[in-house]
Amino acid sequence: MRNTLSERGAGTAVSEVTLDYYVRHVPNLFRGILSKKRFPTSGNDIQSVLTYIQIYKKLNLLYFRYVFLCLSSAICGLLMFIAPYAFAEDMKPQELIDEALKKNPELLAFESMVTASSYRVPQAKSLPDPMFMFGYQNEGWRSYTHGDMPDAQWMFSASQMIPFPGKLALKGEMSERESESLRASFESAKLKTILRVKEIFYDLFLVYKEIDLIRDKAMLLKQVEDAAVARYSAGMGSEQEVLMAQTEKYMLLEKEEMLKQKKQSLEAMLNTTTGRDVNAPLGRPVDLPSEESDYSMDMMIKSAMEKSPEIKFRDRMIAASEAKVRMMQKESIPDFTLNASYFNRGGHEFDDMWSLTTTINIPIYYKTKQKQAVLEAEASLAGARHELEGTKLMISSSIRENYSMMKSAERLMELYKNGLIPKTSQDFELSLSGYATGKVEAITVITRLKSLLDYEFLYWGKVAEREKAIARLEAVSGINIKASAVMEKK
């Protein structure tokens, strides 16, 4: 600065002194004045001290305002970056299902196909378009002879093909059954989409639980590491024990990173299924309520035979094939074509003429055409019936498999929760206490901790497996198992 602070007023100095100058020079100048051995007594010295004190206070206020603004800007920027992720609401499966049913592109395309099929029904029931013909017939080549010659005439004709009674109704029935089968297939696609959302949700739930377990066990492993370091420092343990504990810690970090990558993949899959942007933020899956169902396997199979969209789809295909067989049988019956004609010959010397005619087709190639079509339709009908039986067997097998999986998961969950996990946890605590006193080796403590982690992983894995088995049972049987369990509790 060109002028000293004492030569300027305090207000002017505060407005012109930079923050950088304050940080570097003003505190030193102020401390230099106060470090004098004698307290200033002259008027100039006292005025300088008062000026520096006033400047120090005001610049100190400016400095803290500057720091506050910098921190506020940094915090705001950070919040803007992480807000979509930090404030994402917890994921609930029903909300995801509702969104998937409204926005899933495959379902929307399927729904459009169903709507399009309904428009084919009135087309199939309609008569073919009528035909209209007009023309002129002249007698001779030299002149226009209409009205002068008897065979010169303007001709007008209209014709309509009329199928044999019953054919149009059968064509309409075929189209209706095909449209109904497509609608049943659409309902099946909706259930598969719901199942897909639930399976991804439960897999994501499991990943979050496993990450939580790893972080919890990393804290326990830190206790083992601290005990190993303490024993090594006291000369009671070897460096190998410290390295062993640290290696296990890094292995947990590796597994956590792998789970984070899996979490990102599952979130992308869930966003795709629900029709969201692949990078849309998702919250943490809510905890799953533990609910038991009283439905037996036989009840589920019976319900599936009545409500399964797959079975309804096969039933409609059979009905459409039966209508096609009846239609092909009628194809050997001739259709009629009515034709009305009018001939204008001038109206003076020659009277106008008209005619009515009927045309029928003759199935003279019945054995190689119509009969083969009937045999084809009958074979398709037999195939549709076999497919129905195969679908029923497949659904029954799927229900048995998933019901067994659900019950097995429930029994194992009980074993892990009330047996293995508590006992292994007690064993770990005892071994950790014994290691601290030198009675147990480090490998024993780490082995107990790994066993505890494995059992907790297995427990939550069975929780997710049970939920996915229930979701598959609901998809094939048409029973809302969880909703029924809640109603029973109420």
pLDDT digits (tens, 9 = 90+) for 236-253: 777 787 888 888 888 888
Report how far residue 200's alpha carbon sits from residue 210's, in angstroms, rounded to the nearest whole number: 15
Sheet-wide strand order for 336-344: 131-137, 153-162, 336-344, 353-360
Report how far residue 271's alpha carbon sits from residue 104's, in angstroms, rounded to the nearest whole number: 10
For residue 443, count other CB atoms closer than 10 A to its CB: 12
Q: Judge residue 50's burial from the number of C-beta atoms within 10 Å of its C-beta, 0-12 exposed, 13-18 middle, 19 or more buried.
A: exposed
Quick one: angle between helices 167-233 and 93-103, nearest 10?
A: 140
Q: What are the backbone angles phi and psi of residue 355, rounded to the nearest 5°? A: -150, 155
Comma-separated ranges of CATH 1.20.1600.10 domains in the chain: 93-489
Residue 485 has pLDDT above 70, yes or no: no
What does the pLDDT read at residue 223?
Answer: 82
Q: Judge residue 298's burial from the number of C-beta atoms within 10 Å of its C-beta, 0-12 exposed, 13-18 middle, 19 or more buried.
A: exposed
Cβ pair 202, 96 in contact under 8 A: no
Q: What is the 3-state secondary structure (H, E, C) of the chain?
A: CCCCHHHCCHHHHHHHCCHHHHHHCHHHHHHHHHCCCCCCCCHHHHHHHHHHHHHHHHHHHHHHHHHHHHHHHHHHHHHHHHHHHHCCCCECHHHHHHHHHHHCHHHHHHHHHHHHHHCHHHHHHCCCCCEEEEEEECCCCCCCCECCECCCEEEEEEEEEECCCCHHHHHHHHHHHHHHHHHHHHHHHHHHHHHHHHHHHHHHHHHHHHHHHHHHHHHHHHHHHHHHHHHHHCCCCCHHHHHHHHHHHHHHHHHHHHHHHHHHHHHHHHHHHCCCCCCCCCCCECCCCCCCCCCCHHHHHHHHHHHCHHHHHHHHHHHHHHHHHHHHHHCCCCCEEEEEEEEECCCCCCCCEEEEEEEECCCCCCCCCHHHHHHHHHHHHHHHHHHHHHHHHHHHHHHHHHHHHHHHHHHHHHHHHHHHHHHHHHHHHHHHHHHHCCCCCHHHHHHHHHHHHHHHHHHHHHHHHHHHHHHHHHHHHCCCHHHHHHHHHC
What does the pLDDT read at residue 88?
Answer: 53
**Rounded mean pLDDT of 204-219?**
91
Q: What are the backbone angles phi and psi of residue 446, rounded to the nearest 5°? A: -65, -40
**Polymer length of the chain:** 490
Q: Tens digit of pLDDT for each residue in 352-388?
A: 899 999 999 888 888 898 899 999 999 999 999 999 9
Report how far residue 406's alpha carbon sits from residue 199's, in angstroms, rounded to the nearest whole number: 14
Residue 150 has pLDDT above 60, yes or no: yes
pLDDT-based confidence at residue 66 (cuts at 50, 70, 90): low
What does the pLDDT read at residue 225?
Answer: 81
Q: Tens digit of pLDDT for each residue in 301-327?
A: 998 898 888 999 999 999 999 999 999
**Rounded mean pLDDT of 154-172?**
92
Report how far residue 115's alpha carbon sits from residue 109's, in angstroms, rounded to the nearest whole number: 10
When computed from its CA atoms, the radius of gyration of the chain, rounded to whole angstroms, is 44
**Which residues share a beta bridge with 153?**
137
Report how far residue 452's alpha carbon sits from residue 469's, in angstroms, rounded to the nearest whole number: 26
What does the pLDDT read at residue 57?
Answer: 59
**Which residues have C-beta within 8 Å of that of residue 379, sequence separation ≥ 6?**
none
Residue 85 has pLDDT above 60, yes or no: no
Q: Tens digit of pLDDT for each residue in 126-140?
A: 999 999 999 999 988
Residue 7 has pLDDT above 60, yes or no: no
pLDDT-based confidence at residue 297 (cuts at 50, 70, 90): confident
**CATH number for the domain running over 93-489:** 1.20.1600.10
Would you state the structure tokens that stand for residue 173, as one six-digit string? 């029935």
CA nearest neighbour of 106 among 176, 200, 192: 192
Q: Tens digit of pLDDT for each residue in 437-467?
A: 778 788 888 888 889 999 999 999 999 999 9
